[in-house]
Structure 1
Amino acid sequence: MRQRRPRTEASERRRSPRVSERVPLAITDGGAPIQAETVNLSAAGAYCTLDRFLAPMTKLQLDYELPDPPGGGVGGGRRVRIRCAGVVVRSEPVIVSPDKGRYHVAIFFTDLSERNRSVLSRFVRQRLSRPSTS
């Protein structure tokens, strides 16, 4: 009988490719919304920058918009609103200046509808297939 290998970060990355894309998002952890911006995005989660610490395992609600990719179903250059639940899996301080702290926070999507996961997957694939401008 073959044993399953544990999932690693690399295998998760292959299952859910990430694209470096800055997308504004609103995060709610039970209090007032926190404005953040993604550093990268996948169908499994987001890595973002925000101005406060969020402890690992903090449950969140996320709200953001993506352009509907060609063939995405909405069409006409419209935007698709994504609302989902997530959990903080990592939070790291980033030194911007002595008086202004920032944090890189990795969020795993725990409740993302199949429709929204499909929109997000198409968005990532479209961005990854664009020719490089560098």
Structure 2
Amino acid sequence: MPAAPSERRRAPRVSADLPLQLRARDAGASAQLRDLSTIGLSCTFPEPIPEMTAVQLRLELDDVPHDIVGAVVRSERSDDEWEIAVYFTEISDTSKKSLEHYITDRLAATSS
């Protein structure tokens, strides 16, 4: 029997409703984070971004900005916006540790 999608993930993922800055093709705009892991995220964005497009992300966790580079792996229409999935290609050790801490805290809160 195949594993459920959440069981196949390579990294734990948590829901997150945070603002996010996304820059692609020399144009940037605000996005809304939907979920987050140490290897990628999903967000809503006002326009489509082609798959495999390199993007720069700025995400604040606990009032600390984290600049991350990624590649779009999915761009799907959802009502009047686009759901964009990004795989991280460049992330500092500090940012990765902050993400791990954020995710661990959220997972602990949902399991209690």
The structure with more strand, counted as a fraction of residues: 2
Is the shorter-chain TM-score for this pair beyond 0.5, marking a shared fold? yes
Q: How many residues align?
A: 108
For the residues of structure 2 that align with 1:131 and 1:105, how far apart are their CA atoms?
A: 25
Match of 1:27 among 13, 17, 22: 22
Aligned to 2:86: 107
For the residues of structure 2 that align with 1:82 and 1:58, how far apart are their CA atoms?
A: 20
Which is higher, the Rg of structure 1 or of structure 2?
A: 1
Post-superposition offset of 1:117: 0.4
Aligned to 1:45: 40
CA deviation map 1:1-22 (0-9, x unaligned): xxxxxxx9843x2x31000011
TM-aligned CA distance change 1:52 to 1:82, over 3 Å = same
Structure 2, unpaired ranges of 5+: none
TM-score, reference length from structure 2: 0.88
CA deviation map 1:23-72 (0-9, x unaligned): 111111132311101110011011000110000001011011001xxxxx
RMSD across aligned positions (CA): 1.9
For the residues of structure 2 that align with 1:42 and 1:124, how far apart are their CA atoms?
A: 7
